[in-house]
Structure 1
Amino acid sequence: MKSPLLICFSLLVAGLTPSVQAQQADVPVTQVTDTINTAVEDQPASSIDLLNAAEASYTNADYTTAATLYESLLTENGPDFHLYYNLGNTYYRLKDVAKAMLNYERALRLNPGDRDTRFNLEICQAKTIDKIEPLGTFLVTRWFHRLGDSMNSNGWALTSLLCFLLLIASLTAYFFSRRSWLKKSGFYVGIVSLILCILSLIYASKTYQAAVYPDQAIIMAPTVTVKSSPDQSGTDLFSLHEGTKVTITNEIGSWNEIELQDGNVGWVPATSMEVI
């Protein structure tokens, strides 16, 4: 019989192991009907009409109209994972990779663990001009970030609560049980539960901050020159193209200081990007 510590450790390792999804076609996965019907099913009739019209336009390959309708739905109903996902698919069909990436990123901000969205985003990233090589990171660091991307803040908050309840049960078994094996199990399970509870709280805070206060953006301009200072007279450092993902580190007037995954920094006009 496996010890409780070994079981908990196995579950943790399983969570750290990336899932694999086999895909054949070099096009985003489209789930227009099943996905968008759940997005606004409790909304007013006007939203349902817009949704039906958007679905019909997409089905009939009228992607320009579908994109306009999806944008209207987002304006009317606010951020929604399903609408962002379908809008990303629509812009991909329009061959607007930058806007497709923007909406896939916004969808992942609300549901980081969705594999279809992440797969579609990777397809779009392969089509961008700029190939930014991220700085090397330790394997444990990559696992840490990958695990954090598996759920949104609500999911991690619930996980933290469940781990806390398990911790209380383990402490109860440790302090009040008369059986030595139960005391020992309660002790080890309690330690693992405490670690997982703290880890879940960290992930919940991290994903919540990323969703509410986004600091990343997608370059939307076909080409933008990165400057050494927030003005046109600054030295030209390098150029970026649409679809490149950047992190905003500072804002001065109409200029944003950005940082790339490879560590390069510089200033670009705020109008050349859209915040995720």
Structure 2
Amino acid sequence: MKKQVLILLLFLSSLAQAQNTALFEEANEAYANNDFETAVSKYEKILENGETSVAVYYNLGNAYYKLNNVAPSIYYFEKALQLDPTDEDVQNNIEFARSMTIDDIPVIEETGFQKTINSFISTFSYNTWAFIAIALSAIFVVLFLLYYFSRTSLQKRIFFGLAMFVFVLGGMSVFFAFQQQEIQFNNQFAIIFADEAPVRNEPSQRGDAAFSLHAGTKTKVLEDYQGWFKIELSNGTQGWIEGDYLKQL
């Protein structure tokens, strides 16, 4: 019975994968024919089916960009960068999309050693750092076995030194993986989807509207309270905004 269930699950998984592949090809064809609305519909159907990838997010962001829908365009480019922060195509295209936004908010740059470390850690995603750690662990095992079975003292010293070096790199990769996970956990962001969204000084309609944000602006989410979100802009300005005005990444 368990074997039959497993075969059924594998069949359904293969069928879903085939459907998503067909949808992806159809969406790409629609995009090539400048039918961007159809392309958007098919790319989003793939996401509804539970499949995510840099290619789907990237193409969906491009399709929305062609439709001059800046907020979803930036949103899906950001989703692609969450999966692969090093993708240069996504990095380039998101800059084009950001140029369409109304809000021009200066960025307060980090300085010093912490900036260098965070920049290096953000080179790869949490999953990539974890994969690197696993690969280095396998290399360490091989080098340690070579050290153990070596017959000369010179070979033992060489393999032991290499094994220790790889071991240290593996430990650093594990540390970076957890640091990247913590960075992502503590840095929750959202994209403004409303044409104009008032930001208030308290989580209530009674609060004064200190300023407004517009579609496509990226904000950091600090906390939420009864449908309101406390946000922080790249220049350090904070305020409260209704949840209906934004979409969390």
TM-score (structure 1 length as normaliser): 0.72
TM superposition shift of 1:200: 1.8
Shift of the 99–64 alpha-carbon distance from structure 1 to 2, 3 Å rule, reads same
Give CA deviations for 1:218-248 in whole Å, capped at 9, x if unaligned: 0111111111110111122222111111111
Gaps in structure 2 of 5+ consecutive residues: 1-12
Residues 138-217 of structure 1 aligned to structure 2 (within 5 Å):
138-165=111-138, 169=143, 178-179=153-154, 183=157, 190=164, 193-194=167-168, 196-208=169-181, 215-217=188-190
Q: Hey, what does 1:76 align to over in structure 2?
A: 49
Measured in 2, the distance between the counterparts of 1:214 and 1:50 equals 33
Q: Hey, what does 2:210 align to over in structure 1?
A: 237
Gaps in structure 1 of 5+ consecutive residues: 1-39
Q: Residue 212 of structure 2 aligns to a residue in which SS?
A: strand
CA contact (8 A) 1:171 1:187 kept: no
| Higher deviation after alignment, 42-51 or 110-119 | 42-51
Percent identity of equivalent pairs: 28
Amino acid at match of 1:190: M
Shift of the 165–54 alpha-carbon distance from structure 1 to 2, 3 Å rule, reads closer
Q: Residue 132 of structure 1 aligns to a residue in which SS?
A: coil
Please tell me the root mean square deviation across aligned C-alpha atoms, in Å.
3.2
Give CA deviations for 1:45-71 in whole Å, capped at 9, x if unaligned: 443443333122111111111111111
Shift of the 83–212 alpha-carbon distance from structure 1 to 2, 3 Å rule, reads farther
| Higher deviation after alignment, 257-266 or 99-108 | 257-266
| Higher deviation after alignment, 115-124 or 183-192 | 183-192
Shift of the 138–76 alpha-carbon distance from structure 1 to 2, 3 Å rule, reads same
Residues 21-32 of structure 1 aligned to structure 2 (within 5 Å):
none
- Where is the helix percentage greater, Structure 1 or Structure 2? 2
Measured in 1, the distance between the counterparts of 2:147 and 2:17 equals 51
